[in-house]
A and B are shown apart, each in its own frame.
Chain A
Amino acid sequence: MEEHELTAVVESLLFVSGEPVSLEKLAEVLEGIEPDRIRESLERLRQIYDVPGRGLQIVEVAGGYEIATRSDCAPWIKALEKIKTATRLSRSGLETLAIIAYKQPVTRGEIEAIRGVDSAGVLKTLMERRIAKMVGRREGLGRPMLYGTTREFLQYFGLKDLSELPALKDFREVAESLPESESIAEPAADVAH
């Protein structure tokens, strides 16, 4: 297959798929073609889109490649009634998800120990949105459910894989960042005094 033909086929596959297509999957479909050549054609495709005047881009997300819109076009896409944007995650949702993402597989008890509050409801919402899922049970007393993140999680945050998550700060960094950072509006104690 010629280079331009291969690029065209790859483009069509990404267009039709509607989910991230892994290099392995592409290699499987394009039987007999070197994965290196497929990778090259993906790169070529990426460059073809990466020019002014295009509303689409090739993104590498959740272990695969996918065609997506450019973020500059978002306001008009949202104005198109058919498209509904996912509701943003709540603060508690993000906190819970951060714990799941970094500590998975993790039990609800472990999440609650870190957050210091009941997290059953938040967890349920995350599962309903398919951003988190049950991944099994921990052996031992009560065999508690273990939770982890999903492919939808990677897509939602535009991550190639979990290793793309920034490293957790260590305790020293956290402690150092404490005094001057954070601007929670309206200090409440002013009212209390």
Chain B
Amino acid sequence: MSMDEQQTSYAVKLPAFEGPLDLLLHLIKKTEINIYDIPISLITGQYLEYLDLMKSLNLTIAGEFLVMAATLIHIKSKMLLPISETDELEDETDPRADLVMRLLEYQRFKDAANGLETREQEWREVFYRPPAVGSGEPPDEVNLVDLSLFDLLDALRGIMQRAPEKRGLEIVVDELSVQDRMGLILDRLEGEESLTFNSLFERDTARLAMVVTFLALLELIRLKRVHIIQTELFGVIRVWKNMNLPLS
């Protein structure tokens, strides 16, 4: 690029839109038209121009923008159709009505978001103390968390640390397969609806056995035969039978 080009080219700054509704509201406000009587042809034209502009700037256009374009064109075509006697009932509703409702509903929450933003600005300047004493209680508000593999690995590490690490003579005659252990876990779940993560390892004394149990659990999760849930942060991890699947 030559110096000249660099000087004449300028960056176009686009207002960032959260989505197609946001863009439409912007166009409506800019053209100062009545939201209850949107000149759909005008707005569709402006909307499509905007998409073209985004394209020419190599911005990726999210699918939602295209869906809205299709909706606008659909409404436009409906409005062009003459009102026929036969589908009078259908024609009683303005084809734009749905869109108008969506725009207004969205604007309501945009306004509410502005309100939150004002509060945020104010309250970000206020600081609290962290708890002075480590509170033993779990927090009252907890997320129902589906756990990640790392949470499970953490739990396994906890169990392995509690297990005495036997040194010296330990001959493990390996009769444990992951397959068998999976069966064992499912058998135990037959009687109850859920088991704690820790109880799965009760009978495992050797670390190897624990690892096998753990692998079996992972495999069952992968096969969606069980799912694991922790109802509170750092709480007990429970293994649930997946009821929705036939045991085949």
A-side interface residues toward B, CB under 8 Å?
15-19, 59, 66-71, 74, 77, 83, 85-86, 88-89, 91-92, 94-95, 97-99, 101-102, 114-118, 127, 130, 133-134, 136, 150-152, 155-159, 165-166, 168-169, 171, 174-175, 177-182, 184-189, 191-193
Partner of A191, one of B33, B36, B53, B125: B53
A-B contacts, 12 of them at CB < 8 A, read A67-B128, A89-B116, A91-B16, A94-B113, A98-B109, A115-B106, A130-B143, A150-B141, A178-B107, A184-B29, A192-B46, A193-B49
Contact (A59, B126) CB under 8 Å given A92-B18, A98-B109, A192-B53: yes
> Least Cβ distance of B126 to chain A in Å?
5
Partner of B122, one of A71, A114, A155: A71
Cβ of B111 and Cβ of A174 under 8 Å apart? yes
Closest to B117 in A: A94
- As a 0/1 sequence over residues 106 to 121 of chain B, the CB contacts with chain A under 8 angstroms (1 = contact) are 1111111111110110
Chain A residues positioned under 8 Å from B150 (CB to CB): none
Partner of A15, one of B14, B108, B129: B129
- As a 0/1 sequence over residues 1 to 27 of chain B, the CB contacts with chain A under 8 angstroms (1 = contact) are 000000000001111101111100111
Q: How many residues of B contact A (CB 8 A)?
A: 64
Chain A residues positioned under 8 Å from B36 (CB to CB): 175
Partner of A101, one of B29, B116, B128: B116
Which of A99, A116, A117 has its CB near the most chain B CB atoms (within 10 A)?
A116
Is chain A's binding surface mostly helix, strand, loop or mixed?
mixed
Bound Cα distance from A134 to B105, whole angstroms? 24
Cβ of A184 and Cβ of B15 under 8 Å apart? yes
Bound Cα distance from A66 to B127, whole angstroms? 10
Chain B residues positioned under 8 Å from A136 (CB to CB): 144
- As a 0/1 sequence over residues 36 to 63 of chain B, the CB contacts with chain A under 8 angstroms (1 = contact) are 1000000000100110110000000010
Cβ of A18 and Cβ of B116 under 8 Å apart? no
Partner of A68, one of B14, B111, B128: B128
Partner of B133, one of A16, A83, A166, A188: A16
Bound Cα distance from A175 to B34, whole angstroms? 8
Chain A residues positioned under 8 Å from B105 (CB to CB): 114, 171
> Least Cβ distance of A145 to chain B in Å?
9
Chain B residues positioned under 8 Å from A70 (CB to CB): 126
